Structure 1
Amino acid sequence: MKVNNLEQGYFGIGIQNGKTPQNLGVLWRSAQNMGASFIFTIGKRYAKQACDTHKAVGAMPYFHYDTFDDFYAHLPKGAMLVGVELTEEAQPLEAFKHPRRCVYLLGAEDHGLSKKAIAKAHHLVKFKSTLSLNVSVAGSIVMYDRGLPR
């Protein structure tokens, strides 16, 4: 993504109550490759992942929050919270205009985002899928879409 001084922006990406350590490692590797500024978890702690072969957690800031409320209280100033969730009210990703400064939040495959996270999100996005996708795949799709010209 080409960024000039007039279009400065950043994004972070993370998982709420991630289900498996492997998903974290794969998402972190994709985040590093796709230009994320930071990564985070809410609920369960990150541990060194064999699938984080690029050691993304050492290459960019990593944050852990015990609760959603703690995470929400520490959103970067001016950043929009974008929840990724298969809900009726979510906007199709294909038509979504990504905020210049945002934080993408994904939920675990088995439970999705919490009701509180859905209610507090500035935007909700979804993409064409009849079933829930692996969280690292879903996050990679969102980050790839962010880099597409609109």
Structure 2
Amino acid sequence: MVNNLQQGFFGIGIQNGKTPENLGVLWRSAQNMGASFIFTIGNRYAKQACDTHKATGAMPYFHYNTFEEFYSNLPKGAQLVGVELDEKAEPLETFKHPRRCVYLLGAEDHGLSKTAIDKSHFLVKFKTILSLNVSVAGSIVMYDRQLKSC
């Protein structure tokens, strides 16, 4: 008998995404890496040619107008993992991914809001000098999760 609570899940999304093309690429990666759902906060997803796998039709997509609306609707038992270049963030290389979590990325030009950083259960970062494209950063986080879950 399979215990679904032991298997875990994850969702991934962007707060105030800058370009719709980045969202389409992130959603495609999310579908390939086993995400349970995708979401946006602030700017809404628009169908993109780069989403060739039609990820938004293959997994649940949620949109929240504000961070507070998003935060009040986190799945029960899920921990919020903010992906941010911040001095308090843990290096991804040593980060232990929660079984049940939601990854939140910020726009390339502004990052996560202060409220999102403060409310995150964990913050993770990469060993890079400058910030990464949001779809690249999200794909790296999901790939790291997949590698470490084996």
- TM-score per shorter chain, which class? over 0.9
1:14 is paired with a residue of what secondary structure? strand
**Deviation per CA, 1:44-75, whole angstroms, max 9, x where unpaired?**
11111111010000000000000000000000
For residues 111 and 48 of structure 2, the distance between their equivalents in structure 1, rounded to whole angstroms, comes to: 22
Where does residue 40 of structure 2 map in the other structure? 41
User: 2:118 and 2:148 mapped to 1: Cα distance?
Assistant: 29
Question: C-alpha separation between the residues in 2 aligned to 1:59 and 1:31?
Answer: 11
| Structure 1: runs of 5 or more not aligned | none
TM-score between both structures, scaled by the size of structure 2: 0.95
**Residues 1-150 of structure 1: pairs in structure 2 closer than 5 A:** 5=3, 7-149=6-148
2-structure distance, mates of 1:101, 1:7 = 9
Over 2 Å off, 4+ runs? 4-7
Letter of the 2:30 counterpart: A
Deviation (angstroms), 1:7 = 3.3
Q: Scaled by the length of structure 1, what TM-score is found?
A: 0.95
User: Could you say what secondary structure the match of 2:45 adopts?
Assistant: coil
Q: Deviation digits for residues 83-137 of structure 1, max 9, x if unmatched?
A: 0000000000000000000000000000000000000000000011100100000
Structure 2 unaligned segments of length 5 or more: list them.
none
**2:147 counterpart SS class:** coil
